[in-house]
Chain A
């Protein structure tokens, strides 16, 4: 096994447009470090691959989990779809290279989401920050169950547990040390991380 060096992605600085209005729109969200991200350089991924491009190692890659009983086929754990408040999204894997999440605004259809390949403990799934998707996530409550379906048809259920504003370089929300699901709005100047606890592992 080898791992690419964790380099910073390409960066640029964007003008500070509209973030205050978004704060107002999402007033229900618990905001963390708002003052910080207002002055941080904003990160945009440039020259990235289209989200629909096949990853160099997709679900056909056989092993990410190995134990004394052998390895587990990735098809059992890799997500193929997600259902949020009755809305279905097809999940497309994308592979992060050198820390850059390949994404271009406007390339992700409304019924598609992207899964950061290899995030099998804390599933990291991105939705394009359209008004619909933003509203969908904003309306989540603790009563909502989110269903993630794997390529083998296994369902894993999660329950909404909270959300927060984070700066674009706050990547500890992607840590793989606890089971969960983190939904990310893509294309915003700051991310809303929706951290969810696992409701059921399914069988």
Chain B
């Protein structure tokens, strides 16, 4: 059986934009003790998180914050990505090099009795 020969096309397909892995480390916390810091036990659990290509608008990934309020997302993208927390109307752009995204929710006085 003769070998199969693969010949490159005379006009090769131009390469697309170079993609790289972009990592976003989101942490959403409710600052229950009002110390302006995200402490253990203050993470907001189960918030939906979506990641979009900031150039094309394509949805790249989605998920939820974990038990510590974190959502770490690594996606292949040609440029910056956009991280959205729809529930909070929060969104931010993450550059190709990745970023940590802290979100802190200020506490308010909560009822200690049901009226």
Q: Shortest Cβ distance from A42 into chain B, in angstroms?
A: 10
Chain A residues with Cβ below 8 Å from B48 are 198, 201
Task: Select from chain B the residue with minimum beta-carbon distance to A120.
Answer: B105
- Kindly supply a per-residue 1/0 record for chain B positions 73-105, scoring 1 wherever the CB is within 8 Å of any chain A CB and 0 otherwise: 000000000000111111111000001111111
Pairwise interchain contact B44-A100, C-beta atoms closer than 8 A: no
Query: Secondary structure at chain A's binding surface: helix, strand, loop or mixed?
Result: loop
Residue from the set A64, A100, A121 with the largest chain B CB neighbour count within 10 Å: A121
- Kindly supply a per-residue 1/0 record for chain A positions 60-82, scoring 1 wherever the CB is within 8 Å of any chain B CB and 0 otherwise: 00011111110010001100000
- From B30, B90, B108, A177 is in contact (CB under 8 Å) with B30
Known: A69-B91, A177-B45, A201-B48. A48 touches B115 (CB 8 A): yes
Compute how far the CA of A65 lies from the CA of B104 in the bound complex, rounded to whole angstroms: 6
Compute how far the CA of A180 lies from the CA of B47 in the bound complex, rounded to whole angstroms: 10
- From A8, A43, A67, B114 is in contact (CB under 8 Å) with A43
Query: Number of A residues contacting the other chain (C-beta, 8 Å)?
Result: 64
- Kindly supply a per-residue 1/0 record for chain A positions 160-203, scoring 1 wherever the CB is within 8 Å of any chain B CB and 0 otherwise: 00000010111100101111000010111011000000100111
Q: Shortest Cβ distance from B66 into chain A, in angstroms?
A: 12
* B56 contacts chain A at the CB level, 8 A cutoff: no
Pairwise interchain contact A99-B103, C-beta atoms closer than 8 A: no
Known: A68-B92, A68-B101, A121-B44. A201 touches B86 (CB 8 A): yes
Task: Select from chain A the residue with minimum beta-carbon distance to B36.
Answer: A1
Pairwise interchain contact B110-A174, C-beta atoms closer than 8 A: yes
Task: Select from chain A the residue with minimum beta-carbon distance to B46.
Answer: A178
Pairwise interchain contact A179-B105, C-beta atoms closer than 8 A: no
Contacting B at CB under 8 A, from A1-53, are 1-4, 6-9, 11, 43-45, 48
Q: Across chains A and B, which 7 residue pairs bring their CB atoms closest together, nearest first?
A: A118-B108, A99-B112, A201-B86, A69-B92, A76-B89, A67-B103, A201-B87
Q: Beyond the given A96-B108, A118-B106, please list 12 additional residue pairs across the A-B interface where CB-CB is below 8 A.
A: A43-B114, A67-B101, A97-B109, A101-B113, A118-B109, A124-B111, A171-B112, A171-B113, A176-B44, A177-B45, A178-B44, A178-B45
Q: Which residues of A does B touch, CB under 8 Å?
A: 1-4, 6-9, 11, 43-45, 48, 63-69, 72, 76-77, 95-103, 116-121, 124, 126, 150, 152, 154, 156, 166, 168-171, 174, 176-179, 184, 186-188, 190-191, 198, 201-203
Q: Which residues of B does A touch, CB under 8 Å?
A: 30-32, 34, 36, 42-48, 85-93, 99-115
22 A–B contacts from the bound complex (CB under 8 Å):
A1-B34, A43-B113, A44-B115, A65-B103, A69-B101, A72-B89, A77-B89, A95-B109, A96-B109, A96-B111, A99-B111, A100-B111, A116-B111, A118-B108, A118-B110, A166-B114, A168-B113, A168-B114, A169-B114, A170-B114, A177-B44, A187-B115
